[in-house]
């Protein structure tokens, strides 16, 4: 198999001994780009695919509601982001879990601020 002009080419021999050439289109997401950290975001915006997916899952929003909440995004951009998520779900879910674990670890390691300590001392925290 080889890639030629964004198309994966491959071949196989039939039962009669002749070759069949097959083309498999490379999956592309017109509205999705990866930043330098390989985090997928919606091209031309600061919206990460993960942010949109979290909103969809947390609130149960359909693409039309996501569009209402983010009118600067087109429905095409929203559908592309959701398609990207579903096509890369395992990888992105792993990344979500890793980030949550890191945030939880940072939160538990950080020292409370002076304000929080004073409020606790006054019975407010």
3-class SS of residue 20: strand
Is residue 74's pLDDT more than 90?
Answer: yes
Question: pLDDT value at position 48?
Answer: 94
Hey, what CATH topology would domain 29-121 get? Arc Repressor Mutant, subunit A (1.10.10)
Question: pLDDT value at position 12?
Answer: 54
The pairing of strands 2-4 and 7-13 is: antiparallel
Task: Let me know: does 22 contact 12? Beta carbons within 8 Å.
Answer: yes
CB within 8 A of 30, min separation 6: which ones? 43, 76, 80
Question: pLDDT value at position 31?
Answer: 94
Question: pLDDT value at position 38?
Answer: 86
Delimit the domains of the chain by residue range: 1-28, 29-121
Q: pLDDT per residue over 82-123, tens digit each?
A: 999 999 999 999 888 888 888 877 766 677 677 777 787 887
Instruction: Please state whether 64 falls in left (phi above 0), alpha (psi between -120 and 50) or beta.
Output: alpha
Q: Which of 19, 22, 31 is nearest to 1 (CA)?
A: 22
Query: H helices of the chain, where?
Result: 49-59, 63-69, 75-87, 89-109, 114-121
Question: pLDDT value at position 10?
Answer: 52
Q: pLDDT per residue over 29-53, tens digit each?
A: 889 999 888 899 999 999 999 999 9
Q: Give the whole-angstrom CA distance, residue 47 versus residue 112.
A: 31
CA within 13 Å, CB half, 78: 19
Question: pLDDT value at position 42?
Answer: 96
């Amino acid at each position: 198999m080889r890639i030629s002009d964004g198309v994966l080419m491959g071949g196989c021999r039939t039962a009669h001994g002749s070759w069949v050439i097959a083309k498999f289109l490379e999956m592309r997401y017109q509205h999705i780009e990866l930043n330098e950290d390989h985090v997928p975001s919606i091209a031309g915006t600061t919206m990460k695919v993960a942010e949109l997916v979290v909103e969809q899952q947390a609130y149960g929003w359909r693409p039309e509601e996501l569009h209402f909440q983010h009118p600067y995004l087109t429905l095409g951009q929203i559908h592309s982001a959701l398609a990207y998520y579903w096509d890369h779900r395992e990888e992105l879910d792993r990344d979500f879990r890793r980030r949550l674990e890191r945030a939880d670890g940072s939160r538990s390691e950080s020292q409370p601020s002076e304000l929080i300590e004073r409020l606790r001392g006054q019975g407010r925290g």
